[in-house]
């Protein structure tokens, strides 16, 4: 069995590798070749932790396994990341363990890659201004992945606490694009593409603040009750997602569905757009919204890529179980 550490993942998996893996597995999900198993997530009654598994199988890529982990709120005080995850891969032919892969960095790049895939397939070609809502850990990854998809000329950003905005400003500077902190009215009024990546439980952006033609990638809502944009905005947009079952239960679309504004049939799997079996953006005036809920197959896809690269370069440790 191979072991690929967090540090090795950081060194060998770039944004392009993550993008290719995630775009491929979304396509496989839509064609029926890959499917996610039911998600387990439990409050374990110790250390205030939430712990669970996301798992699945991709018959095309032969990725079989699970991501195990969750959220330990006391970790930061110990100098550790609160979100912890590890990916385990198994040989699809024999069931033998194949690899154990550090999942923290991979989670960030696979989530950013999902938003980037949505921008590639749904944003207007002439998008020039990127809007970032949220300035937490994931936001820098999101910005780096998003700017690769269009000829963005500047970035505007908003965060609930202004102190954290330095993360967005610093990342934009490293990328080489001008950055301005703005209020939400300006953000919605100027951005052609908006990425939301917060832990909010109430809408931040409303329909009236977003212009026709905008593409939104709503990436923060991955749990029942979380919400980043108003249900009316979701209903006004053409909605796309990684997986419809998650979108209507734990994703951004849950609130519009609960309010009876949209139904499952109004939400399109992004993989079908990638495969060309369903249309994406229909006009320059349409608002498109990608509800990125985060599926286990994304984790298996990037972890498989990490193992392949690490083994190829001789930097994967190997143990006999
Ligand atoms: P973080 O704790 O580092 O940052 C949280 C961000 O949310 C900060 O910018 C904070 O200001 C903002 N925020 C929190 N509550 C808010 C509120 N009520 N109103 C407005 N803003 C608020 O978290 P992170 O690691 O950057 O992750 C951000 C979110 O993305 C989390 O909710 C996480 O669960 C989610 N996530 C989703 C996926 C996916 O696949 N969809 C993957 C990883 C993380």
Residue nearest to atom 19 of ligand 1 (CA): 200
Closest alpha carbon to 157 in 183, 118, 126 = 183
pTM: 0.97
Distance CA 290, CA 23 (A): 14
Give me ligand 1 centre to Cα 210, in Å: 21
Interhelix angle 137-146/15-31, rounded to 10 degrees, is 80
Q: Tell me if 99 sits within 8 A of 105, measured CB to CB.
A: no
**What does the pLDDT look like over 185-227, one tens digit per residue?**
999 999 999 999 999 999 999 999 999 999 999 999 999 999 9
User: Count of CB atoms within 10 A of residue 56's CB?
Assistant: 25
Asked whether the predicted pLDDT for residue 321 surpasses 90, the reply is: no
* Residues 160-187: b if buried by 16+ CB within 10 A, e if exposed: eeeeebebbbebbeebebebebbeeeeb
Which residues lie below 8 Å from residue 53, measured CB to CB, with a gap of 6+? 39, 40, 66, 67, 68, 296
Phi first, then psi: give them for residue 178, nearest 5 degrees. -65, 145
Question: Locate tokens 């109430």: which residue?
Answer: 202
Give me ligand 1 centre to Cα 137, in Å: 8
At 55, the pLDDT band (50, 70, 90 cuts) reads very high
Cα distances (Å, whole numbers) of residue 207 to 17, 116, 170, 184, 216: 34, 22, 29, 12, 12
Query: Where in the chain do CATH 3.30.1780.10 domains reside?
Result: 2-107+297-318
Query: Where in the chain do CATH 3.40.50.720 domains reside?
Result: 124-293
Say whether 120 is catalytic.
Answer: no
State whether CATH 3.40.50.720 applies to domain 2-107+297-318.
no
Distance CA 302, CA 107 (A): 9
Give me ligand 1 centre to Cα 205, in Å: 15
Distance CA 132, CA 170 (A): 13
**What does the pLDDT look like over 283-302, one tens digit per residue?**
999 999 999 999 999 999 99
The top-level CATH class assigned to 124-293 is alpha beta
Asked whether the predicted pLDDT for residue 163 surpasses 90, the reply is: no
Q: What residue ranges line ligand 1, CB within 6 angstroms?
A: 107, 111, 134-139, 159-161, 164, 197-200, 204, 219-220, 222, 292-294
**What does the pLDDT look like over 115-158, one tens digit per residue?**
999 999 999 999 999 999 999 999 999 999 999 999 999 999 99
């Amino acid at each position: 069995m191979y072991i690929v550490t967090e540090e090795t993942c950081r060194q060998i998996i770039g944004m392009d590798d993550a993008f290719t893996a995630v775009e491929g597995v979304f396509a496989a999900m839509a064609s029926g070749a890959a499917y996610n198993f039911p998600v387990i997530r439990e409050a374990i009654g110790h250390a205030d932790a939430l712990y669970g598994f996301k798992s699945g199988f991709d018959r095309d890529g032969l990725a079989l396994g699970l991501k195990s982990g969750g959220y330990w709120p006391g970790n930061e005080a110990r100098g550790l990341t609160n979100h912890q995850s590890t990916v385990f891969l198994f040989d699809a032919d024999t069931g033998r363990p194949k690899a154990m892969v550090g999942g923290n960095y991979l989670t960030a790049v696979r989530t950013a890659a999902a938003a980037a895939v949505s921008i590639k397939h749904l944003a207007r070609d002439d998008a020039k201004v990127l809007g970032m809502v949220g300035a937490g850990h994931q936001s820098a990854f999101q910005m780096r992945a998003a700017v690769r998809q269009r000829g963005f000329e500047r970035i505007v950003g908003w965060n609930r606490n202004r102190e954290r905005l330095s993360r967005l400003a610093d990342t934009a500077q490293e990328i080489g694009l001008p950055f301005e902190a703005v209020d939400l009215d300006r953000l919605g009024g100027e951005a052609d593409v908006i990425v939301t990546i917060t832990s909010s439980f109430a809408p931040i952006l409303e329909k009236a603040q977003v212009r026709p033609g905008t593409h939104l990638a709503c990436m923060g809502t991955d749990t029942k009750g979380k919400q980043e944009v108003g249900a009316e905005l979701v209903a006004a947009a053409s909605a796309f997602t990684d997986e419809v079952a998650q979108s209507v239960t734990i994703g951004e679309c849950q609130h519009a569905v609960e309010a009876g504004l949209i139904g499952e049939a109004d939400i399109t799997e992004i993989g079908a757009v990638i495969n060309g079996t369903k249309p994406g953006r229909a006009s320059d005036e349409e608002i498109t919204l990608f509800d990125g809920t985060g599926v286990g197959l994304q984790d298996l896809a990037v972890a498989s890529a990490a193992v392949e690269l690490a083994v190829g370069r001789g930097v994967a440790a190997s143990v006999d179980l």
